[in-house]
Amino acid sequence: MLHQHRERESWLITQHAHGLLSGELARVWKYKTDAAAKLFPLQAEGDLMPSFEFLFAIAMHDYAWSAYDVSPRFTEEAAGVADFLHYPLAERLPLYNKGVRSLASMMPWAASLVSRHFSAFAGLQGERDFQRWHETFREGLMLTQDAKLRVEEALPYLQGFDLLSLYLCLTPPGALRDHLPAWLLADDTFRAPCGERISLRWEGDDKLSFDPFPFLTECVLEIPVYVLEGKSFATPKQLDDAWTSRTLKKWSVRICS
């Protein structure tokens, strides 16, 4: 669960909704020929078209959270909501494992990419059993050497769209940002997978501008948001009561230059 802190209320966004948003950003991104030519075929009109397996992996990378995000979990940290930053590690690791196993039954290449993504998380580098499990898992997928190379080429894109989606979900002007980690683009600058630095500027809660503009076209992104009264919750009952009386809204954000 993502928890957007606001002055008088909380906006909760499921991990899978954030993942789908990552996939939508990947779909409308304008790929640089020199940076992505190894991943995608060059189209007749001269543009690079992302493959289905690439978009599928990015959109579904947090699908395993769906069963955990049916309702928010209380914690004494993080204003009372166990968001993705504060979910217990002992429960997150098997969740990641379950997620890539599910993807493997549908698309092994996507499972390998998401496994690499999870394994690269900075906070998990010292989890040796977890790292070994994922190395063994990826070897068991029996990908060709070419497919393995494409996984490595695709990894910076998944990491980038994941980060950009988190920024979009958590940092509009109406949100409080003092609790967010510095790695969540605290300087409002996104380093694209090709290395280009892109300045981000919110123009109200419903418009985010990019300079230079990295997408094929301007578009409107729609994000399902659960709105709870109160920006923090001191007890499990307070959180349960707020969740019971929640409202569901569609938050629209225009992406523009």
Helical packing angle, 52-59 and 15-28, nearest 10°? 150
Q: What is the DSSP letter of 83?
A: -
Ordered by start, the domain boundaries in the chain are 2-256
Length of the chain: 257
| Gap between the Cα atoms of 214 and 30, Å rounded | 6
Q: What is the DSSP letter of 48?
A: B
Predicted TM-score (pTM) of the model is: 0.93
pLDDT one digit per residue (tens) for the chain, 257 residues: 999 999 999 999 999 999 999 999 999 999 876 667 677 765 545 567 788 999 999 999 999 999 889 999 999 887 899 998 888 888 889 999 999 999 999 999 999 999 999 999 878 888 899 999 999 999 999 999 999 999 999 999 999 999 999 999 999 999 999 888 888 998 999 999 888 999 999 999 999 999 999 999 999 999 999 999 999 999 999 999 999 999 999 999 999 99
Report how far residue 256's alpha carbon sits from residue 141's, in angstroms, rounded to the nearest whole number. 40
Stated as kind and residue range, the H or E segment containing 151 is helix 145-170
CA distances, 192 to each of 15, 30, 51, 185, 257 (Å)? 22, 11, 19, 12, 16
| Alpha-carbon span 20 to 22, nearest angstrom | 5
